Structure 1
Amino acid sequence: MIEEAYDRAAELIAGADAVLVCAGAGMGVDSGLPDFRGTEGFWRAYPPYERLGLKFEEIADPVHFADDPALAWGFYGHRLGLYRATVPHEGFAVLRSWSARIFTSNVDGQFQKAGFTDVAEVHGSIHHAQCVEPCTDEIWECSFDVTVDPETMRATGELPSCPSCGGLARPNILMFGDWGWVPHRSQRQLDELTAWRRNQRRLVVVEIGAGTAVPTVRRQAELASAANGALIRINVREPEVRHGRGVSLPVGALEALTALARRTA
């Protein structure tokens, strides 16, 4: 059954004029990144937050930048260091060989690290910062490092500041309940993707590691493939495709992409 699915997926890719990849957190798991699936998964990745009783949705909340900046930057500073140190797995190279365009909810910058230039980051990027207030809509690249105490997961020393007002800076990431996010960088990327899609007649969509808990990526993949049903869903836990409109591959990103690379070489 899986071999037939691989063959069908390879046919879709071979017959396409363009490939759109819609990627969620599952894309980075084979690079060693946590996907934060559920509270238990988050606490396995960050045990200090279990001791504090904090869930992912609670720590990934902009209110902490006002109430407890060291706690907020402890979480995001650790992730910034983690993503800088991570090497993208070989599946990224497979996608590059297909000249794929990227839509992702991931903020880790792994696609850019793997050499992609056309990436739409719908939730922003941890490698860019903005003012907490914000005093301006300026967005800048993170050239700073954040030192984090691994026992308490709190930032130590001087925290990143806004170059305009001198106040506290924060990552340019859309967080939970976030009314202060500056969206124009991501919106520009999304507008460019929309313009590109309009010119693609035979488009295949490869959705990777995108679950239903935060369905942003799934919605984009299903919308982009609605006209022709050329959807390839790669997902270990939630591989089902609605109404048979696409191909389901219930495996991880690297395994699926490696197998598809052999069939499309």
Structure 2
Amino acid sequence: MGVEYQDLCDPYMLEKDEEGFYGFWGSCTNSYRDTKHHRGYQILLKWRDAIRRKRSENSESEKKSSFQAAFDRLKKCEALPAGVTADSVTNDPFFVYTSNVDSHFKRDFDSKEVYELHGSVETWQCAGDVKTGAREPCEKVWKLPADFRFDLDEDSMKAPGADATTCPECGGKGRPNVLMFHDTQWIANATEENGYIAWESVMELMLEEDPTLNLVVLEIGCGTRVPSVRRETEMVVADVIEGCGRPQATLIRINLDIPTCDNPLIIANNRFLPIKSKGLEALEGIDRELILLRQKDWTEEPVKGVDIQYDFDT
């Protein structure tokens, strides 16, 4: 098409070249929907379910009451986002924090345990009247129909708009609800964001009050071009170490190119494990080791919380 990625991933492109804009995002959406999960997703699901089973064996009702008690204390002192309720936040010791926009995690994981911090191509928002600028976008957000496909011209990589990409509220043009370059009108998913903030706050309080608990932050394939996830994972682990006054959190960073950590507190407490590998290969290797440990009936310190990250960085 003769344009750079930064140009295509810019809301202004909808005004400059509507069919080029829809062609780019239509190609992404069609491709994401056609792509099947690799085994890594099933490995993560297996680990999550194993954590749930272990929790159940160790009195799930007791753990839920501990979560509820911590949630209630934070809510009472107004330390949680407004409007958040215990029912809207997962009480599992597991969370997916992802900058992927393909929405693949939501195919299998519970919606309450996934935060897509940059949005998703499966959700669209109003862009208003982009041709004349006479109408500002409304705040309507909607899901693409499950059977919808963009009518993409493979030669020109262009696609027309459609009813599915038109705002059902005001009739304006639609755009993906994805944070783009130079984006001043993106509508963040406050429900997911607040759910993650509340979950993290509750888990940090539970860690502070119980020195037998540990948090493992597993970061998979997050680059430095869009370093949102790398910064968040380091901040979470450092906050736990500092807040607890004990090294109760570990960052495992799977990265083939940059498996390093910039946080001195994490390094000083020896709570960083770099794995120089591709994501799937690392997950398969870790899974094999876990199977061997179970077969040998070795007992390791229990991992009570797991925070899974996956990065969108193209």
What is the TM-score when the length of structure 2 is the normalising length? 0.64
What is the identity, as a one-letter code, of the residue corresponding to 1:231? L
Alignment-derived partner of residue 257 in structure 2: 237
Query: Which structure 1 segments of 5+ residues have no match?
Result: 1-48
RCO greater where, 1 or 2, for CA within 8 Å and sep 6 or more? Answer: 1
C-alpha separation between the residues in 2 aligned to 1:86 and 1:252?
A: 18
Alignment-derived partner of residue 115 in structure 2: 120
Match of 2:141 among 139, 142, 150: 139
The answer to whether the aligner puts 1:173 opposite 2:190 as a matched pair is no
C-alpha separation between the residues in 2 aligned to 1:246 and 1:92?
A: 23
- Change in CA separation of 1:151 and 1:192 when aligned onto 2, cut-off 3 Å: same
C-alpha separation between the residues in 2 aligned to 1:261 and 1:225?
A: 23
Alignment-derived partner of residue 149 in structure 1: 153
Report the secondary structure of 1:148's partner residue.
coil
Identity %, equivalent residues: 35
Report the secondary structure of 2:152's partner residue.
strand
RMSD: 1.6
Alignment-derived partner of residue 182 in structure 1: 187
Deviates more, 1:243-252 or 1:208-217: 243-252
Query: Which structure 2 segments of 5+ residues have no match?
Result: 49-93, 129-135, 208-213, 242-246, 292-314
The answer to whether the aligner puts 1:164 opposite 2:169 as a matched pair is yes
Measure how far apart 1:145 and its partner are: 2.3
Match of 2:47 among 95, 98, 102: 98
Measure how far apart 1:131 and its partner are: 0.6
Measure how far apart 1:107 and its partner are: 0.4
Report the secondary structure of 2:176's partner residue.
strand
CA contact (8 A) 2:124 2:174 kept: yes
CA contact (8 A) 1:149 1:156 kept: no
Measure how far apart 1:97 and its partner are: 2.2
Measure how far apart 1:198 and its partner are: 2.0
Aligned length: 212
Alignment of 1:67-78 (within 5 A): 67-78=16-27
C-alpha separation between the residues in 1 aligned to 2:40 and 2:237?
A: 22
What is the TM-score when the length of structure 1 is the normalising length? 0.75
C-alpha separation between the residues in 2 aligned to 1:209 and 1:157?
A: 33
CA contact (8 A) 1:107 1:121 kept: yes
Alignment-derived partner of residue 212 in structure 1: 224
What is the identity, as a one-letter code, of the residue corresponding to 2:142? W
C-alpha separation between the residues in 2 aligned to 1:199 and 1:262?
A: 32
String of CA shifts for 1:134-180, please: whole Å, max 9, x gaps.
53222111113211111111104646211111121111111000011
Measure how far apart 1:92 and its partner are: 1.0
C-alpha separation between the residues in 2 aligned to 1:153 and 1:194?
A: 39
Alignment-derived partner of residue 312 in structure 2: none
C-alpha separation between the residues in 1 aligned to 2:175 and 2:149?
A: 13
CA contact (8 A) 1:206 1:233 kept: yes
Report the secondary structure of 1:147's partner residue.
coil
CA contact (8 A) 1:135 1:164 kept: no
Alignment-derived partner of residue 236 in structure 2: 224
Report the secondary structure of 2:159's partner residue.
strand
The answer to whether the aligner puts 1:60 opposite 2:9 as a matched pair is yes
Alignment-derived partner of residue 133 in structure 2: none
* Greater gyration radius: 2
CA contact (8 A) 2:140 2:167 kept: no
String of CA shifts for 1:16-44, please: whole Å, max 9, x gaps.
xxxxxxxxxxxxxxxxxxxxxxxxxxxxx
Alignment-derived partner of residue 276 in structure 2: 250
C-alpha separation between the residues in 2 aligned to 1:95 and 1:101?
A: 11
